Amino acid sequence: MIFSELYSAYYNSVAEIISKLIDGERDERVLRKIVSEKAFGESATTILPSLKSGKWQLVRHDMSTILKHKPTVPLTNLQKSWLKAVSLDPRVRLFGVSLKGLDDVKPLFIPDDYYLYDKYCDGDDFEDEGYISRFRFILSAIHDGVPIKINMVNKNGKEVYAKCMPLRLEYSEKDDKFRLITDGCKYLHTINLSKIRSVGYCGESFKHIEREVRYDTVTLRIKNERNALERCMLHFAHFEKRAEKVGKNEYLLHVKFDHKDESEIVIRVLSFGPRVKAESPDSFVELIKKKLLAQREQNLR
Amino acid sequence: MSSYSELIKNFERIRAYMREFYVYGFKSRDDYNKKSARSYDDERRRMESILGDHMSFLRTPEGKNVFISIDSRTSRHNPFYKAWKSKSFTDGDVTLHFIIFDILHSPEISYSIPELMRIIDEEYLSYFDSPMMFDESTLRKKLKEYCEEGILIAEKKGKRMLYRRAEDISLSEYNDLLDFYSEIAPCGVIGSFLLDKTKPHKNAFAFKHHYITGAMDSGILAALFTAMRQKRVVTVTNHSSRSDEPRKNRIIPLRIFISTQNGKQHLIAYHPDFNCFRSFRVDYLSNVKLEDVTPRFDELRAMLDKMQGNMWGVVPNRGRRGKVHTEQVSFTIKVAENEDYIVKRLYREKRNGTVEKLDDSTYRFTAEVHETSEMIPWIRTFICRIAQMNFSNRTEENRFKADLEEMYKMYGIKEDEL
């Protein structure tokens, strides 16, 4: 069962607090910090008082614990079966770890039990040995915080070299691709992993380049016909957004997005047809109008 | 006096509110008329407590609107997972839990129930002025529960039943794997439970086009996966928006269809009563109950595999009595000299069908699908270059064209602007 106290933030906090007490830590500020990091906004009013008062009989009045060992719990069947399911995914090879102790475990699901039906079909080749080794190299460089040099193919098909500080690997489920997010290189902030041909360490150090992400906010007017409201809200759910009801059946949705993704957002808005109208900013509305004008010229009958 | 607690017994209570606050977020307190005002206040407070900074408020003439706003690209871990860690428990539960695992701190140590009872009383609870009293049946129930979860093992030695902790698996090498899969694998919240057991570490991953709403349906999804792995029939309650009352369905779950473009999850199942395949929104489902094993699972899944060749989205074949219903969809687009990326889009984004080059600037896409309407949003993304279309479903084609006219009007595009 997924919803179980075995996985609860309270149990995790108690385990951590008791470990600290066993180490001899009694400073209440340290214990309170554990609660604020591991549990919820109002947990401080419950967890420590319950331990101190003996409501949960694990800690004495002097804040020593009756337990003799730092608390640990083995993995549950559910956790093992999920790990087993993950071990069947082709991308697991990227991580170069063998999942041990799962031979007799039945997976929670197998790849055939689910289907990402609208994923693009030109995703990265996760089975390619070269790709796997470059992925691992970059991942280890991110952890070590060391700069790397990259040989890659640019969008014009030309081979180029770059030196940069690797920051993180960004994955898009829709594109089924990894991108490397970098620092220190003025012109290469995002690199498709599949474009990288070789990678190695580079002895140079890099100055951090401050990148200010330019955000735009588009305001959409939604007419709630043909379930457009729910479709639109779900479609844009992963952005920072705000919605308001402005009429009996009309809503305004303000969606904040990275300016670099503007063309993508334009076609996503168009995909809703006449149920969703872009109201502002004017520059965004003009892009939509331009597309519609061009469409009208096609004289589709 | 208020009986409010941050923790909850039943996840269904917050599941609906989380979705409302996150997906919609424009409703005021009065709009939540299905539940009592007190219930609304409690759930709102709970959400604030669990999601903290992600909760926002807006004052409108109708009242205060509460909503959850999260840019999932900047969030390294799905914030909704925290809600799954809010299960309530009793004082006895938490006390017993930590004491049991302290006594059984290594897999080599095993005790019977009477032995455990004595150790708990004499070596642990005796330190307190008013020690808790656990009777044998409470301990037995807890041990049974933990055996079912796989964290304890019961072994018979002679006539005695002994309990020991299960062997553990070290997660020390799995940090990266867990950071990644907890966000992209189905039921990723379980990966988050595993991450809670790891030491603090640097997370090397971020996610784009990342839909996090599915987290709230992890319990339903896990039950449906279990049914599929065991090839079982299930009964499930469907709260579809098309019907006022929830309906109970007895179905054979076959596969979960997940969208990477809106985060929706659908169950495709066979409905024996109507002898047809049906699609159910997972977020509308509750109370999944596993029933008998069905001998038909493999045969039905093979039928679905075949059907998928003509499914653009989640609508299965609607033909009755095994009859296959398909509709033909064809459209051509114009591509300028420097617009190879548009042609690439056709190949990359198509889910079935074929692309033909008619001349240097014209390409035709053709597909045979069970439901034309599912393709419309995608076809609209080519607006500005659609030169011709031919749908066997004339109603859909006419609607597409009428919608285009409405869009011209909506954006004030007049004939003379050409």
Judge if ipTM > 0.85.
Answer: yes
Rounded to the nearest 5°, which phi and psi values hold at B8? -135, 160
Closest CA to B373 of B353, B393, B390: B393
What is each CA distance from B42 to A51, A278, A287, B64, B391, in whole angstroms? 25, 36, 45, 15, 51
Beta bridge partners of B365: B331, B355
| B407 touches A at CB < 8 Å | yes
Q: Do B411 and A288 touch (CB under 8 A)?
A: yes
Residue-range domain boundaries for chain B = 1-69, 91-165, 228-308, 327-417
Determine the average pLDDT of the residues in B76-91. 92
Environment class of B71 (CB within 10 Å of its CB; exposed 0-12, middle 13-18, buried 19+): middle
Measured between CA atoms, how close is A161 to chain B, in angstroms? 23
The more confident residue out of B35 and B327 is B327
pLDDT higher than 70, residue B2: no
Measured between CA atoms, how close is A135 to chain B, in angstroms? 12
pLDDT for B131-186, tens place per residue?
Answer: 999 999 999 999 999 999 999 999 999 999 999 999 999 998 999 999 999 999 99
The more confident residue out of B242 and A273 is A273
Note the pLDDT of residue A23: 96
Q: Do A114 and B258 touch (CB under 8 A)?
A: yes
What is each CA distance from A248 to A41, A245, B66, in whole angstroms? 37, 8, 20
In whole angstroms, give the CA distance from residue B358 to residue A81: 51
Measured between CA atoms, how close is B303 to chain A, in angstroms? 14
In whole angstroms, give the CA distance from residue A239 to residue B213: 12
What is each CA distance from A193 to A131, A171, B111, B219, B307, in whole angstroms? 8, 10, 54, 34, 34
Q: Do B151 and A50 touch (CB under 8 A)?
A: no
Beta bridge partners of B362: B334, B359
Which of A22, A34, A83 to mutate: most B Cβ within 10 Å? A83
In whole angstroms, give the CA distance from residue A137 to residue A197: 12
In whole angstroms, give the CA distance from residue B337 to residue A235: 32
B253 upstream amide cis, omega within 30 of 0: no
The token pair at B152 is: 């304890």
pLDDT for B334-391, tens place per residue?
Answer: 999 989 999 999 999 999 999 999 999 999 999 999 999 999 999 999 999 999 999 9
Q: What is the DSSP letter of A241?
A: E
* The residue to which tokens 């970098």 are assigned: A182
Name the residue type at position A73: V
* The residue to which tokens 């859909």 are assigned: B396
Report whether B179 contacts B195 (CB < 8 A): yes
Note the pLDDT of residue B393: 96
What is each CA distance from A138 to A4, A206, B207, in whole angstroms? 37, 16, 17
Note the pLDDT of residue B288: 97
In whole angstroms, give the CA distance from residue B331 to residue B390: 6
pLDDT higher than 90, residue B236: yes
In whole angstroms, give the CA distance from residue A154 to residue A188: 10
Instruction: Give SS3 for B131.
Output: coil
In whole angstroms, give the CA distance from residue B397 to residue B390: 7
The more confident residue out of A15 and B63 is A15
pLDDT higher than 50, residue B223: yes
Question: Which of A79, A143, A300 comes nearest B202 by C-beta?
Answer: A143
The residues near B304 (Cβ < 8 Å, ≥ 6 apart) are: B254, B255, B268, B277, B316
User: Which residues in chain A have their CB less than 8 angstroms from residue B185's CB?
Assistant: 82, 85-86, 89
Rounded to the nearest 5°, which phi and psi values hold at B315? -90, 115
Determine the average pLDDT of the residues in B318-345. 89
Note the pLDDT of residue B1: 43
Note the pLDDT of residue B34: 58
The residues near B24 (Cβ < 8 Å, ≥ 6 apart) are: A229, A233, A243, B67
Q: Which residue of A has its CA nearest to B105?
A: A69
pLDDT higher than 90, residue B29: no
Closest CA to A220 of A259, A261, A168, A272: A272
Q: Which CATH architecture is the domain B91-165 placed in?
A: Orthogonal Bundle (1.10)
Beta strands in A137-176 (DSSP E): 148-153, 159-172
Q: How many CB atoms lie within 10 A of CB A197?
A: 12
* The residue to which tokens 């008082």 are assigned: A49
* The residue to which tokens 């049914």 are assigned: B227
Note the pLDDT of residue B389: 96
Q: Which residue of A has its CA nearest to B376?
A: A271
Closest CA to B16 of B47, B45, B38: B47
Report whether B46 contacts B6 (CB < 8 A): yes
* The residue to which tokens 């993995």 are assigned: A75
Note the pLDDT of residue B321: 65
Helix or strand (DSSP H, E) at A288? helix A282-297
Q: What is the DSSP letter of B393?
A: S
* The residue to which tokens 């691709």 are assigned: A177
pLDDT higher than 50, residue B328: yes
3-state helix, strand, coil in chain A (%, to 5): 40, 25, 40
Note the pLDDT of residue B51: 83
Note the pLDDT of residue B18: 82
Rounded to the nearest 5°, which phi and psi values hold at A291? -65, -40
Helices (H), B35-127: 37-51, 91-103, 113-119
Instruction: Give SS3 for B32.
Output: coil
In whole angstroms, give the CA distance from residue A52 to residue A64: 10
Note the pLDDT of residue B369: 96
Phi/psi-derived region of residue A102, left when phi > 0, alpha when psi is between -120 and 50, beta in every other case: alpha
Name the residue type at position A272: F
Write down the mean pLDDT value for chain B. Answer: 91
Low-confidence ranges of chain A (pLDDT < 70): none
CATH 2.30.30 fits B228-308, yes or no: yes
The token pair at B51 is: 């999601």
Closest CA to B218 of B14, B5, B7: B14
Write down the mean pLDDT value for chain A. Answer: 93
Q: How many CB atoms lie within 10 A of CB A58?
A: 25
Note the pLDDT of residue B28: 67
Number of residue pairs across A and B with CB atoms under 8 Å? 384
Question: Which of B169, B257, B417 comes nearest A100 by C-beta?
Answer: B169
Note the pLDDT of residue B32: 65
Interface of B with A in 354-373 (CB under 8 A): none
Interface of B with A in 320-349 (CB under 8 A): 334, 344, 347-349
CA dihedral A235, A241, A244, A246 (to 10 degrees): -70
Note the pLDDT of residue A259: 92
CATH 3.30.70 fits B327-417, yes or no: yes
Closest CA to A205 of A184, A179, A178: A184
